[in-house]
Amino acid sequence: MRRRPVVLVTGANGEMGHGLITQLAGTPEFDVLALDIKELDPGMAAQCAATIVGDILDQRLLERLVSEFEIHAIFHLAALLSTRAEFTPETAHEVNVTGTLNLLKLAVEQSRWHGQDVKFLFPSSIAIYGFPSLHAKNQAGRVTEAQHNNPTTMYGCNKLYCEHLGRYYAHHYRQLAVEVEKRGVDFRSIRFPGLLSAFTVPHGGTSDYGPEMVHHAAQGQPYACFVREDTRISFMAMPDAIAALLGLMRAPRAALTRDVYNIAAYNPSAGEFRDLVEKAFPGAEIDFVPDLRRQAIVDSWPIDIDDEAARRDWGFRPEYDLARTFDEYLVPNVRARYVTAG
Ligand code: AKB
């Protein structure tokens, strides 16, 4: 009896999950199996072949998936982001690391069953970088994948370690076993910058000040930005982030010289971001009231990202610059979201 071939998306109800499932649902090549700790929004569930409300820490649940589904790719989006993880660091480690380990084990088991590699798409983050001071951050400027891998958050530590876990499962798993078996995990990872989504409200991240500014202005709500006006990190429109995940998944393995890639689009200061929001939403009330501890996290992240390897190996190109992100993506869609919400 053939099991249903599917692509598994964990964290399906999250910001990236919404964008990814909409894209995947539009392609005949994939049936989506969505897994989230919360019930999927009805509109999302309708786009999936199957949905499961469950925990990636539930090993029994994951074992049961093997009996019903033939998983050929995993987009492992479930994670506790940088701010939320600081309030519960040990829980974040469980979710972000043990959860990822459980999914890597699932990928190996699935590969043993159907005999093909399972592509494992893992969203890492600019949070894996770290600088001892703002001066060091400013001095470093644009960073490549190998530089300054010294995270200062539990989330950043988790993401960096899981990059290495993925590399181990892909290239060194059970290297001393008597029987030499096909490894089975085709691990591919992207270090995402701050992401700007028009269709979901961010929560739990420290780059959230960007999208929060837009969503507050569109609702006519005053916004106290928790970082300084001069704060600068890399951001990207969500459609480009989703396109990058799918682009990396579709790239021929032989073209990839790395398992983990930087990508980037633009790096406005919080003040430049405010100017664009005020232009789109005249009268928006935006103040800068730094939360010094969250500020310290963002000050440990790079000003800019070198994504030359992604552009060379698999043709990554962002479609949205900052102006187009506002004019064609954020402003019309966020405005419609709150007008229809009434
Ligand atoms: C966060 O702020 O934690 C995330 C990230 C930059 O990975 N959005």
What pLDDT is recorded for position 342? 60
- Residue with more model confidence, 66 or 221: 221
Q: Calculate mean pLDDT across residues 163-189.
A: 92
**329 lies in some domain:** yes
Q: What are the CA-CA distances from residue 90 to residues 7, 38, 87 (Å)?
A: 29, 21, 9
- Residue 298 CB less than 6 A away from ligand 1: no
* Residue 80: closest CA among 7, 167, 153: 153
Tell me how far the alpha carbon of residue 112 lies from the centroid of ligand 1, in angstroms. Answer: 34
CA of 66 to the centre of ligand 1 (A): 31
- Extract the tokens encoding 247: 């682009």
Q: Indicate if the pLDDT at residue 341 is higher than 70.
A: no
Burial profile 258-282: b = 16 or more Cβ within 10 angstroms, e = fewer: ebbbbbbbbbbbbeebbebbeebbe
Instruction: Report CA(120)–ligand 1 centroid distance (Å).
Output: 20
In-domain check, residue 44:
no
Q: Is the pLDDT of residue 68 over 90?
A: no
Band (13; pLDDT cuts 50, 70, 90): very high
**Is the Cβ atom of 209 under 6 angstroms away from ligand 1?**
no
Distance 194 CA to ligand 1 centre (A): 6
Is residue 275 domain-resident? yes
156 lines ligand 1 (CB under 6 A): no
Ligand 1, atom 6, lies closest to the CA of 194
- From the alpha carbon of 159, which atom of ligand 1 is closest? 7
Does the structure show a pLDDT above 80 at 101? yes
Convert the pLDDT of each residue in 315-333 to its tens digit: 999 999 999 999 999 999 9
pLDDT value of position 125: 98
* CA nearest neighbour of 269 among 320, 219, 213: 213
Quick: pLDDT tens for 280-329. 999 999 999 999 999 999 999 999 999 999 999 999 999 999 999 999 99
- Residue 107 in any domain: the answer is yes
> pLDDT band for position 235 (50/70/90)?
very high
pTM value surpassing 0.95: yes
pLDDT value, residue 148:
98
Which of 80, 82, 160, 231 for a ligand 1 pocket mutation test, highest count of atoms within 8 Å of Cβ?
82
- Report the pLDDT value the prediction gives residue 203, as an integer from 0 to 100: 87
Residue 11 lies in a domain: no
Rg over alpha carbons for the chain, rounded to the nearest Å, is 20
- Residue 6 in domain: no
- Is pLDDT of 146 > 70? yes
Query: CB of 305 closer than 6 A to ligand 1?
Result: no
Give, using CA atoms, the residue closest to atom 4 of ligand 1: 205
In a domain? residue 197: yes
| Residue span of the structural domain in which 189 resides | 79-341
Ligand 1 pocket member 82 (CB < 6 A): yes
Specify the CATH number for the domain of residue 308.
Answer: 3.40.50.720
pLDDT at position 339, please?
84
Instruction: Find out whether the beta carbon of 268 lies less than 6 Å from any atom of ligand 1.
Output: no
Indicate if the pLDDT at residue 1 is higher than 80: no
**DSSP H/E element including 295:** helix 292-299
Binding site membership of 153 for ligand 1 (Cβ less than 6 Å): no
Number of domains in the chain: 1
Ligand 1 atom closest to residue 153's alpha carbon, by position in its atom list: 3
* Whether the CB of 126 sits within 6 Å of ligand 1: yes
Residue 3 pLDDT > 80, yes or no? no
Whether ligand 1 lies within 6 angstroms of the CB of 207 is answered as: yes
pLDDT, average across residues 108-121? 94
Q: CA–CA separation, 96 vs 62, rounded Å? A: 16
Report whether residue 47 contacts ligand 1, using a CB cutoff of 6 Å.
no
The verdict on residue 5 lying in a domain is no
Question: What's the mean pLDDT in 230-241?
Answer: 98
